[in-house]
Amino acid sequence: MTLQKALLNLHAREDWGVILDHIRVELETAMLDFQTPELLDNPQKLARLAGEISAFDRLLRVFSHAEEK
């Protein structure tokens, strides 16, 4: 089975939307965390947060691309 087929199978589940919504909420929360003053003074925390945002964004793009096919 390919990743594409697996994602299409997951998309067919009625609870798939809940998973995508959770990832979107986590992405939005991480983006809001950039406004936290404590993080602005700590480059390591900013780098970790940027990595999380990138990962959530990538997941949503991969999952959305699978839905289009």
pTM of the model: 0.79
Using one digit for the tens of pLDDT, what is the confidence trace for 3-60? 888 888 888 889 999 999 999 999 999 999 888 888 778 889 889 999 999 999 999 9
Residues 6+ apart with CB under 8 A from 43: none
Q: Which two tokens stand for residue 47?
A: 């780098």
Residue whose C-alpha is closest to residue 62's, from 29, 32, 23: 23
Residue whose C-alpha is closest to residue 52's, from 39, 66, 69, 37: 39
